[in-house]
Amino acid sequence: MTVPRSTLRLQFHRGFTFDDALAHLEYFAALGISHLYASPVTSAVPGSMHGYDTVDYTQVSAECGGEAALKRLADKLHERGMGLIVDIVPNHMGIAGSGAHNGWWRDILEWGRHSAYARHFDVDWHSPDPALRGKVLLPCLGAPYGEELAAGRIKLRFAADTGRFNIEYGDHVCPVCPIDYAALLQSADRTDLNALAEQFRGLTTQPADQPRAAQACDALREFARQNGATSIDFVLQAYAPEDPVTRDHLHRLLERQHYRLAWWRTAADEVNWRRFFDISTLAAVRVERPEVFEAVHALVFRLYAEGVVDGVRIDHIDGLAEPREYCQRLRQRLSELREGAPYIVVEKILARGEPLRDDWPVDGTTGYDFMNDVGALLHDPRGAEPLASTWAELSGRSAVFADEALVARRKILNENLAAELDRAARALHRVARDNLATRDFTYTSIRRVTGELAAHFPVYRIYPQNGLRSAADNVYFDQALDAARRMLSRADCTVLERVDMWLGSGVDEPAGVREAAAAGSNREATDLRTDLRTDLRTDARTDARTNPRAQHPPQGAATGAFNHAAAARRTVQTLFSQLTAPVAAKAIEDTACYRYGRLISRNEVGADPGEFAISVDQFHASNLERARRYPHAMLVTATHDHKRGEDVRARLAVLSEIADEWSATLRAWSTLNTPQRRAPSGDTTADALTDDWAPGPAAEAMMYQTLVGCWPPDLSADDEAGIAELAERVAQWLLKGLREAKVRTNWFAPDEAFENACRAFLFDILAPQRRDGFLRELCAFVARISRAGVINSLQQTILRLASPGVPDLYQGTELWDFSLVDPDNRRPVDFEKRAAMLAEKPPSEFLADWHDGRVKLAIVQRMLALRTHLPELLSQGAYVPLAVEGAHAERAIAFARRQGNAWAVVIATRLAVPLLSEADADAKAGDRALADIPLVEPARWEDTAVRMPEELFGRAMFDWVSPAAPKVEDNGLLYLRDALTSMPVAVLVEDGVPRT
């Protein structure tokens, strides 16, 4: 296996192509990157800026340059000894435009259940809603169906280039099933069209008839070519939406299709196919089916076999029915294609203490767990309570994040994912009906129970095997079970116990079912599970009481019943897991994190805002565990999904050290800006005495944190153009934040008057006339905490580059990253500027001019050079936590990496505000320039020292990031006043090479 030394994540799209990346390859190589790490390279919806909406798994994105450009990039990478890792998306496909660009989805819309791809997508073809049986809900209309039909916005169109009739609505193009073509062509009452209609007569949706339909469409296309497309206008006129009679014809035609056009707001309640979270333009695929697995990975398998691709990153592993089996199958297939073990990492959100499963044959996660660890380490735990109290007082909301999380989970279950909850509850209800003891459990009671379990589920999901939960699953399932039990009535608790059993407890399960589950092979279990939805929902089985053979099963049916019951339970476990994962993502990351503002530097993907800080010992424990179990996992501090740039979070973490001062500042700024408050319904000034104003206290408090966090280092209160640019960026964040919070406005039903009032407030407080008021105060406060923020930034940078794992660099974050949530964090990157700033000087040379970010770039370059110079030291070396002693022991972290006789000792300053404040006081009468340097004056460390390993006693070590060469005392102490003389971090190296 070729394990990357380091990776650079690049976001490819039509504005940044493979050839654009190739143009910067010299810079990437000089920086020290070993592998480029690409966003999805498959063909996506036209104009996609991220690539996660794949429409064709077999083709490299033409917008990104196509396969030829990708191979040019890979060839040049390999010439330099570098490699390429690609992101793959096995969970879902893009269907924007109702699948106008997605051939698989279009085929489903055209042929329904008899499409060759009907089982590629996770569609419930047997919906309990009669209007959706055998149909796919298309929630794409901007208003109710009747209104859009009457307004003439839904139209029948003919595509002359393909010979196909389509239903068009804006950008949505939906095929008409060819079995309707005969009637369509006859409606024009023309001899030539009647003759064409004969070719379509007698067609059915059966697969055997579909080739004949294609031939007939070819004939229709040829007819249009010879006679002009206008020759078909007679047909279109018979279905014109402008006239009531022909509009009724159009409606009846629509009713015969394998889809139902619907208002977009129906999706949350009625969608009958699995989505990616609650996004109705992303349809989930059934990659657990072998033929779908092969089709989804066709391109990446070929590119890997050809040596173009060197590793893969799996997007949203928790969306899959069987993550374990998927990873096993993927590794096996890749291993068959090429010698050596493939490098595979998975995007997985882990709760504190939740391990990545040992039976997943992967190299680790994509690093959200590390980002959470290092982010929590930056925070002072003493700030947690006072900041929570201030937040509750100002906002009127709970001081406890768990309260917000539970409210958000209930909201998401009831409003955004109600259809997904219904689907899981219906599957459980069918299991209940199969058992005489539970046949009277109602659907409603089962839905209540399922909803409570999902609302209290503490992690993304469980991973049962052969229908039974593991001990690791039960650690988290039992938490949800206990919480649900406390919330439910006694009657519902009876149902809860059975649901617990069906979801894999194994308690009181009939022996035959348990044995059948245990005896089945993984392949058989998968086949049973994936086919069960069809088997269970047939009309014949639903009405089995009318079938004598069903009432009196033949001899030997008992074993089949046991197998059937085992498969049914595995199915409900899958549906439950595919419910809890999106609930967690949407409720926590996309709702509660926008509602809870104690300190938004902890409101990040993969983090729990309720966990404010972790200790140095906890950080060491996580690194030791990572080194032991997944030494090649990715380490990230910024991603394409982050809500705030890594340096925004680092600066905001400083507020945890000055909680009382920040609380007073919040109150003062709110009072100062009271005159700018707006009435929530318009642009009029709000009454200062009212509680109802825009943006409201919660959004206002989070807005001030955002401004403090993202304020550029060199932006002054007098720079009108710079402040205006910043205001636009923050306004974009504000709009997204308000809608994601789902309190006064949301994406489904936006309150534009309220949103505009919030925007007006933001621009008012940042207006030029405030330069001598709020803007001066804001600038002064940012300057007050910036040095401590820089120390935090350099700390998390050095920890990422020296900890066990593969450090990943998100595009552009070599310099300061003060970005906000997407699309702000996906802005174009000036790689030429970064290339020009590369230098062979030690990072300490750039600390005094830290504002330009060059010191951070130099640390990245220097540490990647160390990984090249001593590759085994940081990739395979042991991780050794080192104790810090003395007066300021809590304000430093230290550890060593050891490989043979080679050592690297990492030391970083942390929680530096008190030490910097003392220096500030002294600097008032001295050199103010010195007071701007993000460095604790060496004498301030007093007797603080690192207790070094015995092998290094009495040794002089050379700092990889500065010219310093501090000596370890003979008693094993390395004093920080010697080690941190010119940088707030140090990487002291002993390469193990004997010297004379």
Please identify every stretch of the chain with a pLDDT value under 70, giving residue numbers as ranges.
1, 508-562, 682-690, 918-930, 992-996
| pLDDT score, position 536 | 36
Widest pairwise Cα distance in the chain: 105
Q: How far apart are CA 807 and CA 34, in angstroms?
A: 10
| pLDDT score, position 783 | 96
- Beta bridge partners of residue 313, listed in sequence order: 87, 345
Cα–chain center distance at 974? 42
Cα–chain center distance at 8? 18
| pLDDT score, position 557 | 53
Cα–chain center distance at 16? 21
What are the pLDDT digits (tens) for 554-588?
Answer: 445 556 666 777 888 899 999 999 999 999 999 99
| pLDDT score, position 928 | 56
Domain boundaries, the chain: 7-91+287-366, 103-276, 375-383+603-782, 401-594, 830-990
Q: How far apart are CA 741 and CA 295, in angstroms?
A: 38
Q: Which fold has domain 103-276?
A: Maltooligosyl trehalose synthase, domain 2 (3.30.1590)
Q: How far apart are CA 62 and CA 47, in angstroms?
A: 11
| pLDDT score, position 231 | 86
Non-local (6+) Cβ contacts of 341 within 8 A are 1, 331, 335
Q: How far apart are CA 331 and CA 359, in angstroms?
A: 12
CA nearest neighbour of 643 among 602, 695, 698 = 602
Task: Classify 375-383+603-782 by CATH class.
Answer: mainly alpha
What are the start-end ranges of the H helices in 228-320? Answer: 233-237, 244-255, 267-270, 290-296, 298-305
What share of residues in the chain are helix, strand, coil (percent, to 5)? 50, 15, 35
| pLDDT score, position 544 | 36
Token pair for 175: 């095929």
pTM (2 d.p.):
0.93
Q: How far apart are CA 993 and CA 310, in angstroms?
A: 33
| pLDDT score, position 255 | 97
3-state secondary structure 16-74: ECHHHHHHCHHHHHHHCCCEEEECCCEEECCCCCCCCCEEEEEEECCCCCHHHHHHHHH
Q: What angle, rounded to 10 degrees, do the helices at 752-765 and 697-710 form?
A: 50
Provide the 10 A C-beta neighbour count for residue 317: 24
Q: How far apart are CA 817 and CA 810, in angstroms?
A: 10
| pLDDT score, position 550 | 38
Q: Identical fold at 103-276 and 375-383+603-782? A: no
Q: State residue 172 phi and psi, 5-degree precision.
A: -85, 130
The CATH code for residues 7-91+287-366 is: 3.20.20.80
| pLDDT score, position 996 | 35
Q: Which residue has the tokens 């207006």?
A: 767
Q: Is 960 exposed, middle or buried (0-12, 13-18, 19+ CB in 10 A)?
A: buried
Token pair for 538: 């047939």
Q: Which fold has domain 830-990?
A: Immunoglobulin-like (2.60.40)
